[in-house]
Amino acid sequence: MKGKWLKSIAGLLILFFVLSCGISADVEERDTQATTISLPSDSGIGFAWPESIPEDIPVLEGDIDLVMEASGSHIRIFYRNLPKRQVEQYLDQLEKEGFDLEYIVYTREGFPDNSEERTKRGEYDAVDITKGEYHMRLEYGSDTTTYDIYLTSPTR
């Protein structure tokens, strides 16, 4: 009986070995994009405004927590404690420079839709900003503000 078990186990091991040798690993090549996370500036005041952003896009001054760049196509900047008044002044500046602003209020399924009331009060979750080839999105929060700048079309 012991011999049968050993023969069965040995047969399974041989079968497993033969099958595993015949399997080829198909490696799918993917179009990957590298993400670069910038290090703080040498000034000791956090991160600097990325030099890769076109000069036609005004600098949003403030304490930058983090800068992430995705293969030259998209930059995400995280600000901390950016005053709402400063964001409003920046949006006014963009509008004066010919950028189109679309104010966005987010709604969630399963929760009451109070977007109309919030819009009347001037409360927005994000602003979509466009001008010619430029597309940005600014999302304001009391602690963190996120600024996405698309250097190429975000639909690609």
pLDDT at 154 over 60: no
Each residue's pLDDT tens digit, 65-109: 999 998 778 999 999 989 989 999 999 999 999 999 999 888 888
Query: Using CA atoms, how far apart are residues 115 and 103, in angstroms rounded to an integer?
Result: 11
Q: How far apart are CA 79 and CA 94, in angstroms?
A: 18
Q: What is the predicted pLDDT for the residue at 56? A: 93
pLDDT score for 106: 83
- The Cα-based distances of 129 to 26, 57, 106 in angstroms read 43, 11, 16
How is the chain split into domains, by residue range?
33-150
Nearest Cα to Cα of residue 119 among 100, 135, 106, 134: 106
Is the pLDDT confidence value at 34 over 80?
A: no
Burial class (CB in 10 A: 0-12, 13-18, 19+), 82: buried
